[in-house]
Structure formats: C-alpha cells, structure tokens
Amino acid sequence: MKLIYTLLFSSFIFISHAETAELNCEVLPPDSTSSIIDRTTSLYFLEEGKKEFSRGKTRDALRRFREAYVRDQYSSKAAYWIGESHYKMDNFGYALKYARIAEGLTSGVDGDLLYLMGKSYHRQNNIDSAAMNYVKAQGLLSNAKNKVYNIDGLLDELKFADSVSKLESLFERNLLNDKVNSGYDDYNMVISNDGKEAFFVSRRPDTKGGNVNPDDQRYFEDIYYSKWNDTTNNWGNSTNDLGRLNTEGFDAISHIVADGSEVYLTVNTSVADVRNQTRSSDICVAKKSKEDRWNSPRAIQNKSINTSFFDGAPTLTQDGNTMYFMSDRDGERSQSDIYVVYKVGRDWGTAQKLPMTVNTKNNETTPFITPDGRFLFFSSEGHKGMGGYDIYVTENKGNEWTKPINLGADFNTVNDDLFFKYYEQLKKAVVSTYRIQGDKSSLDIYEIIIENWRIPTSK
C-alpha cells in the first residue's frame, strides 16, 4: 500500500498544467498530507475512468469516477464525469443531480457542465431549463465544440417540441403491462395479423447464454413471445423459450409474414462463442417446423443485403417482394441509412439506398413499410424533431418518396422514439421509447390506440 501511495504522490508532482488549472477552479479544503494523497488518488481514478469511458465501457468508467469522488468529494470533475456516465446510461435524473453537485463545487462556469445540464433537462422534458443551459453553454464553448454538440440544432428541437406539445392530443397512449415491460430494456414489438400473438426484444438476465455485451455492458438481446389473454384483455406472460429462434448472440425480430410461419430478424453471433458466426449483424429468416417449433435463423445469402457492416431491422410488404432495412455500410458519409431491395424471381436483387429525401447525413433506422408498400415509417435524428430519434412517415408516389413528416407529440417525445409499427386492422400502433422512473429510465413498449387515422402526407 505504501508503494502505491508513493507512486501516486510522485505522479501528483507531474500533473499537467491543464489539470492544475482545473483544480484551481474547484472549491478545495485546506491542504494536509491526507487530503493531498486523497486528491492524488482521486485524480488517478479520474483518469482511469476517462480511459474506460472513451472505450465505451460506461459502467466500468462510472465505478472509477465514483472511487474518485469518494476520495475527493470536493472534486467537481469527478461529480461531472459521474453525471456524464449516468447520462450515457440513460439515467437522466442522476445525470442532472451530479451535474448540479459539480456546479456547486466549482467557483467558475464550465461550458461542458452547462451542456450536460441542458441535455439532462431536455431528456426530462424541462424545455425552459434546457434552453437556458444550452444558451449559457453556447456562450462559453469554442466554435468547434458548439458545432460538435450542435447547440443550434438542440435549441431548434426545443422550439419544435414546445410547439407540437401544445397541440391537442388525438390518440390514447398506454404503457404495456409488466408481462411485457420489465426493469430492463424492452422494445421492437411485432404483432400477428389477428392481434393474438406478439414478439418483442428484451435485454434480460435470462437471455440465452447469459452473455453480456462488452461494449455497453448490458445483456445480449433475446426475442420474447406473448399471447393475448381474452379474459384479462391484456398480454399474458412472456417467454424466450422459442425453440431455436434465439441464439447465444444478439437476436431481434422485426417482421412476421401474414400466416405466421416465417419471421425476419437481425442476428449477430460474431461476439458469441458459437460454431456458425455472422460477420456482423445480419438479416436472417427463420421458419416454423411441421411440429410448430422454430428452426434456426438462416442469413440471407445476398452480398448486397448482408455485408461486414451492421445490416438489420428488415420490414416487408405483404406480398413479400419488397424489403426495406437499415445499414451503416455508408457510415463515412451518412452514418446509418434505409435501403430497399426487390425480389427478382425467387431471389433478392441488388439493394439500393433510398434517396436523400428520406436519408440524411445522420442516422435513419427501424423502418416499417405498410402492407401495400405505400407508406414508410422510420426513426431519424437527422430530420426536424423534438429530441433524439423521432418517428416520420413518407409516401411512395410513383417510385418517388415525399418529404418526411414528423408524426408529432402523439407519437414522439423528447427522447428516442423507435420501432414504430402501425396495424390498421387492429386500430393500433406500437412504439418503443424511454420511460423515466425517478432518476432512471428504460426503453419500454407503448401502445397507441388509433381510430380513423388519416396518415399525414406531404402536399
């Protein structure tokens, strides 16, 4: 232990000028041998946490930042990074709480801290406080950081959110019951044509194989199944015991064919210890056996559909001849985009990226095509929205797509809104969005009751 403290104390002597400047703006206690050692140890854990954070290991980073804060509770930087970690983990209340602690521990004003406070307020739908902190941050941040953080764009999102939230709500929005939603992320529900069966995706401890993603340190995705209970008029217990449908990797369903005998899904076994590995996330098809059990998913053998990049979220027209999906294969220019591919005979042709009317330089994802192929719903963070991913609709007019329309506050929130699916015959839609519970949040599935909806179209 003495050797560790000696090394840490030696490292304290060589603190960079920038770190010294940061310390000077903090409210510090009187120096003593123990306080110097504690602050030095805190700096060590702070730097270790930053390394983990940059690698995407947010939970490990949070542990380091907490250790830094325990050893020096006057460290505004430790409190700030705890807040940043919680924000990355979608714990927006905790993010704001620690941002406020950091603010109270510094005698100066920091643009990054104000930005953290602004986006934490934004995600909790506190529009006025978010705007105030964004504006303050904008005045302190460099031009380069303002551009990276897109402060002007965030202020535009707040204005749009404020305007659409004042409109009259047309539809009833309900959180699905605890047979479906859990304390973990639950999303991407797909309902059968008769409304009696549903599949969805969750990241729970009972995921097949029990694997944890080394990147975000959450459980792998598994597909779950639930049946409608006519007695309770609600969804029944869910299970991921679905024959061979789930692998020990990531499994996410997104389309059921009309007769329920076949599903399209996204599978990634490249990070699992299995014999047949995908190259990355691949679009697969799984069929039911004669015994009514699911067979193993099979990747579509088409190099323009499945690449070494992320390819997933397939959605098909009712005739099965047109498929839309998302891919990040062109990520250097436009991050993730939506693609379309048509069947030529019994095989799929060459996939093509939808025009920039639909796609933007930012992310487009989770498409849903109506059975007749007329309307395409999708989530995007590149079009005008309320915050995070919003849901949009575009109409296919003579093989040209109209300008996407934001579906507004009945369907969108200031957080990520994803995996929208509209079932006209059931008079309902489902969507996945973040539900804030106290200081934490999780991705949950909501049902929107839709009566006599005329899908909005561009003129």
**pLDDT of amino acid 27:** 54
Indicate whether 320 and 408 sit together in one domain: yes
Q: Does residue 456 lie within any of the structural domains?
A: no
Q: Are residues 300 and 184 in the same domain?
A: yes
Quote the number of domains for the chain: 2
> Can you give the CATH number for the domain in which 161 is found?
1.25.40.10
Task: Looking at the structure, tell me whether residues 194 and 159 fall in a common domain.
Answer: no
Query: What pLDDT shows up at residue 30?
Result: 58
Same domain, 200 and 306: yes
Which of the four pLDDT bands, split at 50, 70 and 90, describes residue 438?
A: confident
Q: Domain of 193? A: 172-449
215 in the same domain as 125: no
For residues 20-28, average pLDDT: 44
Residue at 458 is within a domain: no
Q: Which of 124, 149, 165 is the last residue of a domain?
A: 165
Asked whether residue 223 falls in the same domain as residue 149, the answer is no
**Per-residue pLDDT tens for 264-316?**
999 999 877 777 788 899 999 999 999 999 999 999 999 999 999 999 999 99
Residue 160 lies in a domain: yes
Which pTM does this prediction carry? Answer: 0.89
Q: Is 459 among the domain residues?
A: no
Q: Do residues 147 and 181 share a domain?
A: no
Reduce the secondary structure of the chain to three states and give it as a string. Answer: CHHHHHHHHHHHHCCCHHHHHHHHCECCCCCCHHHHHHHHHHHHHHHHHHHHHHCCCHHHHHHHHHHHHHHCCCCHHHHHHHHHHHHHCCCHHHHHHHHHHHHHCECCCCHHHHHHHHHHHHHCCCHHHHHHHHHHHHHHCCHHHHHHHCHHHHHHHHHHHHHHHCCCCCCEEEECCCCCCCCCCEEEEEECCCCCEEEEEECCCCCCCCCECCCCCCECCEEEEEEEECCCCEECCCECCCCCCCCCCEEEEEEECCCCCEEEEEEECCCCCCCCCCCCCEEEEEEECCCCCECCCEECCCCCCCCCCCEEEEEECCCCCEEEEEECCCHHHHCCEEEEEEEECCEECCCEECCCCCCCCCCEEEEEECCCCCEEEEEECCCCCCCCCEEEEEEEECCEECCCEECCCCCCCCCCEEEEEEEHHHCEEEEEEEEEECCEEEEEEEEEECCCCCCCCCC
Whether residue 176 is contained in a domain is answered as yes
CATH number at residue 197: 2.120.10.30
Given a contact cutoff of 8 angstroms between Cβ atoms, the answer to whether 367 and 377 are in contact is yes
Whether residues 209 and 146 fall in one domain: no
Q: Region 204-208: what's the mean pLDDT?
A: 95
- The domain boundary, picked from 165, 191, 210, lies at 165
Are 241 and 131 in a shared domain? Answer: no
Whole-number Å distance between alpha carbons of 403 and 396: 10
Q: Is residue 12 part of a domain?
A: yes
User: Does residue 445 contact residue 418 with C-beta atoms inside 8 Å?
Assistant: no
pLDDT confidence band for 3 (50 / 70 / 90):
very low
Residue 427: band (very low, low, confident or very high) from pLDDT cuts 50, 70, 90: very high
455 within a domain of the structure (yes/no):
no
**Domain match, 286 and 429 both:** yes
Question: In this structure, what token pair is assigned to residue 44?
Answer: 């060590």
- On whether both 59 and 190 belong to a single domain, the answer is no
Name the average pLDDT for the chain: 91
User: Would you say residue 17 has pLDDT above 80?
Assistant: no
| Residues 201 and 98 placed together within one structural domain of the fold | no
Determine how β-strand 337-344 pairs with β-strand 311-316. unpaired
pLDDT value at position 73?
Answer: 94
- Report yes or no on 454 lying in a domain: no
Of the residues 119, 144, 165, the one at which a domain ends: 165
Residue 11 scores a pLDDT above 80: no
